[in-house]
Structure 1
Amino acid sequence: MDTKRKLLGEERRLQLLQILQSSDRPITGSELSKQANVSRQVIVSDITLLKARNEPIIATSQGYLYMHTANKTQNYERTVACHHEPSRTEEELNLLVDIGVTVKNVSIEHPIYGDLTASIMVSSRKDVQQFLTKMSETNASYLLELTDGIHLHTLSASSEELLDEAEAVLKKANILVE
């Protein structure tokens, strides 16, 4: 039996916030639930409450990530339009991370629901593999499947030149929509 003290309410949310703020990598809900000695569902509720307080927490395929303001000011961002079959997702993501670009999210314009955006936050081949494994294990569909392959990515990089290179690489691979 676990003798670790269960953290309650606001005390637990403050601890979760401190854990996320001090981490430079995403942390899964399961990891957070073990640290707080509560269920994963309690963590999901706590994260929702923290987000409602405008804490910059995002859910990625690798776990929860606190978006530090300093990180945002150092990076340049650009949204690019892409078109490809689901089978080319790994190629597309690897092309981008290989040149030092982070793929923050994917967005589509759904005819009923409007704009749908999902966080990806991949910046290495390892991240790409984790994302693809999770997609496969959960038998989830890619958002681009709802729009015949057309989708947007928000890209983040340390310079405009890297973003220009990202567009050039996608264009060469016939993925970029101009």
Structure 2
Amino acid sequence: MTPSPHRPNGPDPATIRFATGTSSLGCVLVAMSDAGLAAITLGDDPATLRQALQARFPAARPARDEGDMAACLATVISYIDHPWTLPDETVAEFLNTMPAGTTFQRQVWQALCAIPCGATVTYAELAARVGRPGAARAVAGACAANMLAVVIPCHRVIRGDGSLSGYRWGAARKRLLLERERAWAADRADAVSG
């Protein structure tokens, strides 16, 4: 799956192929253009996800493609349900072909991908990691611009007081992801020490 080079203010791809399925976090929509992966979104129902896709790419023609995209959808759902399973080489490949955004957004998304599964950082810590201390609000904006749910793990960013903050796909999903990842990390630590 190669991420799309679509730019938010650039021309939309002519056709966006998409497929929907169900994960432990609810409905999933995976969309691809001819250039590659364009979006992974989460929600409560497929119709709302399709409407959001059309709003994101208003000039594109959405085309349901459950057949050719079945393997891609299955891979995405497996990763959403088990976010610790993405191999390091896949992460490295992904970082080399990260979706287009501003330079700052790309820096934030790359830094997000470096946060280990089971760990969290604050918006301020992430701002410092990208060399922009004091830019916590801009980091939050870059997280909000992320169109690749779970693959770019913006759910691993929390407020300075340790509480959850907003999440494009819902605070309940963020909480579940973090709980699942922390449990996996704790089990892994126990296995290593045991």
Alignment TM-score, normalising by the size of structure 2: 0.26
When Rg is computed on C-alpha atoms for both structures, the one with the higher figure is 1
Q: Which has the higher strand share?
A: 1
